Amino acid sequence: MAGTPTRSQVTGWHPDRLTGIGNGLQAPMDSISTNGTSMANTVRNLDWSGDGRAAAIGHADAETAAFNRLTASIENLKAALVNGAAAMAPNRDNLVNSAVALEGNSFTVSGDWKVTDDVNYEFARSLAGDDAAALAEIETIRQERNNHAVNETIRLTELARQLGVDAENCGNAITAAKGQIDGFAPLTAGLTIQNSQSDAQALQNGTLTEAQLARINAAADLTPEQLAALKSGQPANISNGQFDYIKSLMDGLDVASVEDLERLGAELPADQQEALKGSLADSMRLIAAPNFVRAEGGQRGGVDLLPTDARRVLTSPPISEGPGGKYLNANATGLSSLARFMEHGDPNAKDVGSDINRQFLKHAAQIAEVDNDGRILGEPDRVASGLLAAAAQDHPAVADALGDGPGAAGAMNAADGDPSGDWNRDHMVAALMSADWEGHDAGLKSVIDGINDNATSENIRMATMSGESAEGVATYLADHPFGLNETLTNSASTLLGKYIPQMAGVNDAYLETRGFDPLDAAEFRNLFAAMDQYESSAVPFNDAAYASVAQLHGLGAANPDDLFKFASAAGRIDGAAQDGMDHYVQHGLGEEAQRAAQKTAVFHSLGNISSFAVKQIPVVGDFAGVAMDAGIPVAAYELYGSAPSAVDPTADITDRGGVVWQYYQLLQGSNTLPGFDLTDPELQPYTTTEHLEGKDLGVRLMTYEEILASGEDPYIAKDDFGQAMEHYMEKKGYDLGELNRGWQAGRDGR
């Protein structure tokens, strides 16, 4: 089944390039067809006779038929590329342009296409004062913009879903056509050291033949199994010929500077030149990847196998110091040129764990750190951001840079060819996250957003790498929760919300995410404090937190023997969320009046959460298709189990509302179990029958909101429901004492 691509993925897609590649296949098709016909005619026109002639003609006819089948297979590949691009381009452009337009109109579009209104209505109301007409107009605008955000979320999500379907269809068509082509003699048969030397010479002389161009383009082709291994941070065994060809090709390009790389193939048609540069960029990425391993002898890729100038800029300091102070030197210029060149290539083959990208990440951090005090002349923020953007999609490299997994430090130390370094993950993350990017934070944002791509991958190793990277971001935010960049905090909020259950100690066996270790009480509190400083980050993060709490109660119902464990994790999340808000308003804001106003504003903004689909949170199992209700507009504070202290003197801040809400989550969890009977008389007051176009669709459990709104007074309705659930749950054998003790243990232990 096709997945829905994220915003960062869609932005990086360029279907028009597929069209260029597809049209570039016409020349080799024509050449194959012409050569096949010429061979057959030559054999037939030879002046000879007898059985030998008949056999030769038969062989030539068979070869011609094979050439025709190969041509037809290439034609299928061309059609797959061109038709796939035509199908994807409109939705891709619509999504990208719509997101830009919405953000230009004070909306935020998240990585999963959720549109949020960014207008500060509280400020507008303060300006309106007691002007009733102005206040009414503000409310009308708020409602209209909220409706627009909801509608745009639905529209963009559907466009992205359809784009995912189109991309999968295109991929399947390409795979099928490639499978047909693979049945013929592979181009890799010509990948030899001798050919690479002549190919490199012709490449620089501008005299490439079609056969030479085809070999260069085939050099970086990997099997799905090899590519999957590299993406997972595992070794991929490469044939001797392919490894040696790329290595020798890089040696042959030693006379080229990194700036010259962009000009290679200038004599070719534009589409063929683009394909050539893409193949060269892919080959450079691979030959610099330590897990790209020669089958015999075990030689590994690394920066030492790159062309001399590329190796120089990757391993030399980008900063020099002169009489006027520190400045970006020629190596920094070379790094920027190399980063731009590495944008070429197969978008699906950029996450192979290349040391090129590890060095990009290291140099970006080095520049950002030195520039934190404004001590570098030139445009250091722009240069560092460009390096980060170039490396963002290389998940194994990012995991080594931001994560703390086995071998990460060693991989970063060895990336420049010298494994004796003293790499420090925390030092690098601090340099990047604390930098004043002066408007050039897009590169770091793309790194954080890119971690999301594999966060819930079915490939355990890929999901683990994302978790390790996310933990690096979270650890820094927990250590430095105040004064953060809003754009980066928003990206971190979207990413880290997926890992909240693991932060609370929930075992990976219940989750789709991997690789994130539990946080201690202070770290958990501080992370919430960091998220709470901006409403744009506070709402989605707390939304994710309390959706997780709801699902943990549901998991407790589905696993009664572990009810205490799940309730404890839920209580820990609730405690951290409230402690974090208290910590932020006490230490992250100035005047007492400002703290009180911000606390009230942030808290009540969270009350706008309506519902949260389970699939958006990494809890899986029996709840994969259930929508857990986590929204209570009638009494916003009840969403949280217990409200943060001193939010509003008129608010009911007792634990009673939280306990009743917990009972509802247990009831929803029971609803997923075999034998659960919604027609039980004790449940009838809390069920309703769904109808569609006059048809009875069956009985469903009411949402918590519907239950609270079912009577004249929502608080009385809540009390009645709580008493009914105590009796019902005890009748069903649930130990509510375990629920309450677990919740309290989690909150007490934080």
Average the pLDDT over 70-77 and give the result: 81
Give the residue among 544, 646, 551 at the shortest CA–CA distance from 597: 646
Q: How many structural domains is the chain composed of?
A: 2
For residue range 75-127, what is the model confidence (pLDDT) as tens digits? 888 888 889 889 889 999 999 999 989 988 889 999 899 999 988 888 778 88
Q: Do residues 157 and 165 make contact, with C-beta atoms less than 8 angstroms apart?
A: no
Q: Do residues 303 and 412 make contact, with C-beta atoms less than 8 angstroms apart?
A: no
Q: Would 646 be classed as within a structural domain? A: yes
Say if strands 325-328 and 376-377 run parallel, antiparallel, or are unpaired. Answer: parallel
Q: For residue 311, name the pLDDT band (cuts at 50, 70, 90).
A: very high
Contacts for 633 with CB less than 8 Å, ≥ 6 apart? 607, 608, 610, 705
Q: Would 83 be classed as within a structural domain? A: yes
Picking from 140, 163, 185, the residue at the C-terminal end of a domain is 185
* DSSP letter assigned to residue 696: E
Q: Which of 337-351, 366-380, 412-426, 492-506 has the lowest mean pLDDT?
A: 366-380
Q: For residue 631, name the pLDDT band (cuts at 50, 70, 90).
A: very low
Q: Do residues 261 and 341 make contact, with C-beta atoms less than 8 angstroms apart?
A: yes
Say if strands 236-238 and 292-294 run parallel, antiparallel, or are unpaired. Answer: parallel
Which class for 243: exposed (0-12), middle (13-18), buried (19 or more C-beta within 10 A)?
Answer: buried
For residue range 249-295, what is the model confidence (pLDDT) as tens digits? 999 988 668 888 999 999 999 999 999 999 999 999 999 999 999 98
Q: SS3 of 47, please?
A: coil
Average the pLDDT over 26-44 and give the result: 69
Q: Would 405 be classed as within a structural domain? A: no
For residue range 469-487, what is the model confidence (pLDDT) as tens digits? 999 999 999 999 888 888 8
Is the C-alpha dihedral spanning 275, 276, 281, 284 positive or negative? positive
Please say if the pLDDT value at position 634 is more than 50: no
Q: Which residue has the tokens 């008493």?
A: 723
Higher pLDDT, 46 or 538: 538
Q: Would 465 be classed as within a structural domain? A: no
Other CB atoms within 10 Å distance of the CB of residue 674: 5
Which class for 414: exposed (0-12), middle (13-18), buried (19 or more C-beta within 10 A)?
Answer: buried
Please say if the pLDDT value at position 359 is more than 90: yes
Q: Do residues 388 and 360 make contact, with C-beta atoms less than 8 angstroms apart?
A: yes
Q: Would 420 be classed as within a structural domain? A: no
Picking from 129, 153, 185, the residue at the C-terminal end of a domain is 185
Picking from 185, 200, 229, the residue at the C-terminal end of a domain is 185
Domain holding 729, by residue range, is: 483-750
Q: Which residue has the tokens 């029996």?
A: 622
**Length of the chain counted residue by residue:** 750
* DSSP letter assigned to residue 3: P
Q: SS3 of 292, please?
A: strand
Contacts for 181 with CB less than 8 Å, ≥ 6 apart? 70, 73, 74, 77
Which class for 463: exposed (0-12), middle (13-18), buried (19 or more C-beta within 10 A)?
Answer: buried
Q: Would 374 be classed as within a structural domain? A: no
Q: Average model confidence (pLDDT) for the chain?
A: 81
> Element (H or E) spanning 22, and its range?
helix 15-23
Q: Would 410 be classed as within a structural domain? A: no
Q: So what's the pLDDT on residue 48?
A: 55
Nearest 5 degrees, angle CA 744-CA 534-CA 95?
110
Higher pLDDT, 156 or 123: 156
Average the pLDDT over 432-438 and give the result: 82
For residue range 564-603, what is the model confidence (pLDDT) as tens digits? 998 899 889 988 988 888 888 777 665 665 656 656 555 5
Residue burial 526-553, b: 16+ Cβ < 10 Å; e: rest: bbbbbbbbbbbbbbbbbbbbbbbbbbbb
Q: For residue 655, name the pLDDT band (cuts at 50, 70, 90).
A: very low
Q: Would 193 be classed as within a structural domain? A: no
Q: For residue 622, name the pLDDT band (cuts at 50, 70, 90).
A: very low
Which of 420-428's residues contact partners 24+ apart within 8 Å by CB, and which partners? 425/401, 425/472, 426/475, 426/476, 427/365, 428/361, 428/362, 428/365, 428/401, 428/402
- What CA–CA distance (Å, rounded) separates 612 from 623? 12
Please say if the pLDDT value at position 617 is more than 50: no
